[in-house]
Structure 1
Amino acid sequence: MNAVTPAAHRPWVVAKFGGTSVSTRSRWENIARIAAAHRARGQRVLIVVSALSGVTDLLKRIADSADDEAAARAAQAEIVRRHAALVADMQLADPQVLAPRLAEMERLVADTRRASRALEWQAQVFALGELMSSALGAAFLATQGLPDTQWLDAREHLLAQPLPNQGAWSRTLSATVPAVPDAAFEAALAARGEVFITQGFIARDGEGRTVLLGRGGSDTSAGCFGAMLRAQCVEIWTDVPGMFSANPRLVPEARLLARLDYQEAQEIATTGAKVLHPRSLGPLRRADVPLVIKDTNRPGFPGTEIRAIGSDAAPCVKAISARKGVTLISMETVGMWQQVGFLADVFTAFKQHGLSVDLIGSAETNVTVSLDPSENLVNSDVLSALAADLAKVCRVKVLAPCAAITLVGRGMRALLQRLSGVLAEFGALDVHLISQSSNNLNLTFVIDEALADELIPRLHALLIRADALRAEDGAVFGPSWRELEAGTPSPPAPTWWRAARADLLELAAQRSPRYVYALDAVRANARALMQLRAPAPATTALVDRWHYALKANPHPAILRELHGQGFAFECVSLAEIDAVRAALPQLPAERILFTPNFAPRSEYVAALALGVRVTLDALHPLQHWGEAFAGQAVHLRVDLGVGRGHHDKVKTGGATSKFGVALDQVDEFRALARGCGARIVGLHAHLGSGILDASHWRSVYAQLASLAEGFSRIESIDIGGGLGVPARSDERALDLAALAGVLAEVKQAYPQFQLWMEPGRYLVADAGVLLARVTQTKRKGRVHYVGVDTGMNSLLRPALYDAWHEIVNLSRLDAAPAHMVQVVGPICESGDVLGANRRLPECREGDVILIAQAGAYGAVMASHYNLREPAMEVII
């Protein structure tokens, strides 16, 4: 027999439902089920509801109608129609349940105060939405197994208090309720019943008049009631699963934020997230009441939990938010420098016009501030009056519309050294203001509003998508929006190493660590590229010559396999040329492309003597060794001015990259070539690695082809490699059909040039794994470590440029994850981390750990650091 919680001790749950969650009968049935589930657990329930979706906007039309009678009446008629349809759908016994509210709306529409848009009248108009939805809800819930549901007028319990310097508009339409735990209210409500429904958004002032809590104020109401009742939890039910690391409609790879503390959540909400109103969190934080954001359509999903979290949480960027409609006020004068009271004078003007300042940036002769439209009545009249007053003491410039892009996380100052890529993204933009918060929770950049939507996905890829598991215990980030929309996650994709598990365990038993390469996988990748064809009806190959970038993996067996598939070879050193010739003695010299960078003269001379094709990417060889290139055909590597890739260290274009001849030096290069009798027969550009967007190669191809038309002897255009291999579940593989389409498009326009490409990692990454054995395990605080018998001496990529490799316990492949662990090696370096924050089964000494996608830039970059032998290589 289940124990029943004594009535006096039954906790409260406050459940708030937004507009989309109260707009249909099926959504109200969800509300009834949720409330009933709480009751079954022995909890009292206070339901807070918003107006039906779209109704507040219709009420705003009435509030804005002034002398436009037709507009007011049209909006009124639509509100009546919407509610009548829902009453009919709910099949309520009393179809006149809304009659008093509809009569009140008629009185307000006819009220003479509409002409002047009196603030008190506006508050009464806007309040109708919640009053009507809650009345409908109370009647409906009584028919759904909750007959004791009682309607509660929020205005009887939420008392707004004016703030210092608060204007009439904000006192009435954006009021503040200083809610605190109220034992008397809690006891009185408990004595009345178990289930209540009330309104969000509305309260009363000291004179008993209706006031509003601002747009989105239903969340605030829930927070206030939760604090007053000392609720066990406040639930915000909406149409999304919780807070995300970015707006998921802009960034499908945005990650669900599974756990946040109050301050982090408030920063995210304040800086742009629409799923939660920031004012709701203050009362809850003070009362220590947790809040959970839940999905009405998927009530079983855990959502986002917000509560107090220990102060020892590790630094981590958790979200990228954006606020649009931001106005900047720039105030400049030499008179402010060392002038006592200047800021007091200018801020007095903001106070007089009822404007609150958000961000502040200052210099010796300039102060720039931002106005947040969510907290201000910002219009042209107010701004003109403000500018006129400020002009008395300084030069004023208004910048609008702007967007504030904010990076939110804990310990932002400790992360500054990791933000070089972010600063590079902003470097090409006109950044009007940069602000780092004093609470160490955010870093904000203010830019032109039109640039925000394009910038946010790039920032998310740099800071969160590529590093989403660096949170302090791995429980911060949940699945991506794309994964949630796709439904049940699919099982792991089939890989050759899963099928070969028994053989791999046997190899590891013989010796560890080991690199293992599967030639079948290399062959499959090579054939996929070789089969690229132009769209029908054309059937010819698009790429005239594929070169394998030898630096990815020069294993002789791999070279022979790729030669058999028709690949030529791209080498970046004389030693790589020697390796190809040793593995393939009969290979014609012209099937080797030599593309060195800052190599000594001797290597160029030796390569030319062998008859291989030589690429130059600087003026120096022609300026100082011109006689070596007399009569020779050479290829020119051009820097197109921008780099691409998942990390700064794989970007090979732009002024900060050492590769290629700058576009403004191409004419000088041509003159030098003519002077020494060299012929430029090919143009080449390679801008970076790990690229998954097929349109990249269209851009490179088109730019080089256009440039080639200005030459007289160009035979081939080499658009490089960099074909990406997805490392994470939320990354989409390079679309080869799309790649074929963009190549065909440009080739049709420039059929006179051969097309060359030079992939490396794409061909061999998935074909290789690194096997290692567990040596020790360790726990320090909340951090679990799994040590293995090799590290950065065998696989440098994670330490060098934060590369992500899937890691599994091959010995316990199907076991459930037990801990979030750090997979580390034996090298005496803090950077010897092969995988940070990975969920693995319980690991024991001797278990075989498999690190996937290790076929490229693995063994070839290995060393004997600490005099430890790197992993040996095995072909299967």
Structure 2
Amino acid sequence: MIVMKFGGSSVANSERIRHVAGIIQNFSDRKPVVVLSAMGDTTDDLLDAADAALSGKVTIDAIEKLHKDTSAALGIPVDGIEKLLGELRTLLTGVSMLRELSPRSKDYLVSFGERLSVRIMAAYLSSQGTPAVFYDAWDIGFFSDSNYTNAELLPDVQENIRASLGPYAEGRAGASTAIPVVTGFIAKDKNGFITTLGRGGSDLTATVIGSALMAEEVQTWKDVNGILTADPRIVKTAQTVPVATYDEVAELAYFGSQVLHPRSMQPCIQTGTPVRVKNSYNIDAPGSIIVTESETELPPVRSITTKKNVTLIDIVSTRMLGQYGFLAKVFDIFAAHNISVDVVATSEVSVSLTVDSKKADFSALTKDLGKYASIEIKKHKAIVTVICDVSRSSSILAVTFEALAREKINIQMISQGASKVNISLICESNEAERVVRLLHDCYFGADGKTPCSFS
């Protein structure tokens, strides 16, 4: 069996739902379990409705129109969504009266998007002769803690899923053959309140199901042709990466790529379940498959990504020469200020690191760090990360710095990741896209066909 997850743009309207239903039907012999996000901009529309309710106005016009018009265009009854729309109006009426939206109420609110989309898809598939049944995620055992807006699933979720969907996945005699269509992104806590799973939540739903049922693969259908060698908005000749490892994709996600959030891959990493990234707008594209370890030799460089608007902090303390605990003091201060560090380079008495410019109070941080060291803060920097085989770092760096030197681009810091799959370079933020294009041309060829030679 397989798991097929479709994002919001893939099911944005009636035309897209027809298209996705056709994809699902093409895979019906592989016992698919389907996971859906909310339709198009529904989550944003729900949050806009909440803002209106906080100002005393209750309206669900945009949400109601999209889902009713879609149902009408698909020729399916609206009975399945009328009840939910009424429930949504009641919730927003309460918000308007209290003029308050708690994290728990916000999770309840945004859950309507996924709950509406699975009802429409299951009804449409069934109307086309492919029996399907919708499930809100808790119906098959998705339960979480009560950390609203960013909940963690409980340990027994996979066992619950096996009990609920195992007979279907295994094709047991007497088991339902209707395709399960499951809400992504949401769960319930032990008190029965709806929770959301945070960034990558719908992908996480799919990978947890795939891991629990030992799926042949988890397919995540998006609006790109898979994992690419660079952001196509920056590099027009970006190519699809046919095979990537979990470690490589995790680094890509951390440093700017939006393909899969590292958290969502953890269930499949534990079971070795492959994840295939496909394009629902271009079903003939082969996509990319993510595996624990590739069985074939991979090229030295896999992809390049960038993260802009970071701040470089240089910390130097000659007073700490030969003394223990310098780095411990530095990172204790960052922890006390709840500031996450991206890239680090160290020596015995100094450390250079980058942080997200939007998430740091530099005045308070500088004051505390200044007790132990001299501090220099350099804003408007960018991280350019090369996902590669670090065992070949000497030849990769030789090619890299030769290309940068020709263009007189100065790199201000370099860090080789402990994961052994990335090398990060720090440059000016306004040079980042130029650096990505230059290195992509160097690694993969300006025409996408004639890459440089790595010795």
* Shorter-chain TM-score above 0.5: yes
1:236: which partner in 2? 220
Unaligned runs of 5+ in 2: 168-174
- What are structure 1's unaligned runs of at least 5 residues? 1-11, 163-170, 467-727, 732-797, 804-830, 832-876
1:307 aligns to 2:286 (yes or no):
no
Specify whether residues 391 and 213 from structure 1 end up closer, same or farther in structure 2 by C-alpha distance, changes over 3 A only: farther
Q: What's the counterpart of residue 393 of structure 2?
A: 415
Contact 1:330 1:366 in 2 (8 A): yes
Measure, in 2, the Cα distance between the counterparts of 1:125 and 1:413.
49
Between the aligned partners of 2:98 and 2:366, the Cα distance in structure 1 is: 30
CA deviation profile, 1:47-101 (whole Å, cap 9, x unmatched): 11112222233344456x499627x867x54333333332332232125614324
- Residue equivalent to 2:43: 56
Seen in structure 2, the aligned counterparts of structure 1 residues 339 and 420 have a Cα distance that, compared at 3 Å, is: same
Deviation at 1:234, TM superposition (A): 0.4
- 2:444 is the alignment partner of 1:464: yes
CA contact (8 A) 1:325 1:402 kept: yes
Tell me which of 234, 237, 262 is aligned to 1:250.
234
What is the distance in 1 between the residues matched to 2:48 and 2:327?
39
Q: Distance in 2 between matches of 1:452 and 1:190?
A: 48
User: Do residues 26 (structure 1) and 43 (structure 2) align?
Assistant: no
Q: 1:444 to 1:189 in 2, by over 3 A?
A: same
Query: Larger relative contact order (C-alpha < 8 A, sep ≥ 6)?
Result: 2
Measured after TM superposition, the shift of residue 385 of structure 1 is 5.0
Could you say what secondary structure the match of 1:456 adopts? helix
Show the 5 A alignment for 1:109-508.
Answer: 110-111=94-95, 118-154=102-138, 157-160=141-144, 171-177=147-153, 182=158, 185-191=161-167, 193-194=176-177, 195-205=179-189, 208-310=192-294, 313=297, 316-371=300-355, 378-379=358-359, 386-410=365-389, 412-427=390-405, 428-429=408-409, 431-465=411-445
Aligned AA for 1:464?
F
| Equivalent position of 1:675 in the other structure | none
Corresponding letter in the other structure for 2:108: Q
Pick which of 216-225 and 340-349 moved more: 340-349
How far apart are the structure 2 equivalents of 1:338 and 1:68? 58
Against the structure 1 CA distance between its residues 100 and 243, is the aligned structure 2 distance closer, same or farther, given a 3 Å change threshold?
A: same
- Mapped to 1, the partners of 2:207 and 2:423 lie a distance apart of 27
Deviations 1:512-538 (A, max 9, x none): xxxxxxxxxxxxxxxxxxxxxxxxxxx
Q: Cα offset for 1:252?
A: 1.7
Matching residue's letter, 2:38: A
Distance in 2 (CA, whole Å) between partners of 1:120 and 1:32 is 33
Question: Does 2:55 correspond to 1:69?
Answer: yes
Q: Normalized against structure 2, the TM-score is what? A: 0.84
Render the CA deviation track for 1:709-748: whole Å, top value 9, x for unaligned. Answer: xxxxxxxxxxxxxxxxxxx6868xxxxxxxxxxxxxxxxx
3-state DSSP of counterpart to 2:306: strand
User: Equivalent residue of 1:231, what SS?
Assistant: coil
**Partner SS state of residue 193, structure 1:** coil
Q: 1:47: which partner in 2?
A: 34
Between the aligned partners of 1:145 and 1:326, the Cα distance in structure 2 is 53
Give the alignment of 1:526-545 within 5 angstroms.
none
Distance of aligned partners of 1:446 and 1:57 in 2 relative to their CA distance in 1, 3 Å threshold: farther
Q: Which amino acid in 1 is paired with 2:273?
A: V
Q: Residues 730 and 341 (structure 1 numbering): CA distance in 2 closer, same or farther, change over 3 Å?
A: closer
**Cα distance 1:184–1:97, how it changes in 2: closer, same or farther (>3 A)?**
closer
TM-score normalised according to structure 1 size:
0.46
C-alpha displacement of 1:395: 4.6
Q: Is the 1:180–1:287 contact (alpha carbons within 8 Å) kept by the matching residues of 2? A: no
Query: Cα distance, 1:366 vs. partner?
Result: 3.2
Measured against aligned partners, the alpha-carbon deviations of 1:753-794 in whole angstroms (never above 9, x if no partner) come to xxxxxxxxxxxxxxxxxxxxxxxxxxxxxxxxxxxxxxxxxx
Letter in structure 2 aligned against 1:215: R
2-side partners of 1:463 and 1:254: how far apart? 11
Structure 1 residues 104 and 307 mapped into 2: Cα distance closer, same or farther (>3 Å)?
Answer: same
* Alpha-carbon shift at residue 403 of structure 1 (Å): 2.5
| One-letter code aligned to 2:42 | V
For the residues of structure 2 that align with 1:207 and 1:393, how far apart are their CA atoms?
A: 48
Query: For 2:445 and 2:193, how far apart are their aligned partners in 1?
Result: 49
Using the TM superposition, give the Cα deviation of residue 203 of structure 1 relative to its aligned residue in structure 2, in angstroms. Answer: 2.9
Answer yes or no: is 1:100 the counterpart of 2:84: yes
Aligned CA distance change for structure 1 residues 188 and 111 (closer, same or farther; 3 Å): same
Between structures 1 and 2, the one with greater helix share = 2
Residue 63 of structure 2 is matched in structure 1 by 79
Kept in 1, the 8 Å contact 2:243–2:294? The answer is no
Instruction: Please tell me whether Structure 1 or Structure 2 has the larger radius of gyration of its CA atoms.
Output: 1
CA distance in 2, matches of 1:112, 1:389: 44
Deviation at residue 137 of structure 1 after TM alignment: 2.0
Check the 8 A contact 1:152/1:196 in 2, yes or no.
Answer: no
Q: Secondary structure of the residue that 1:234 maps to in structure 2? A: strand
SS in 2 for 1:149: strand
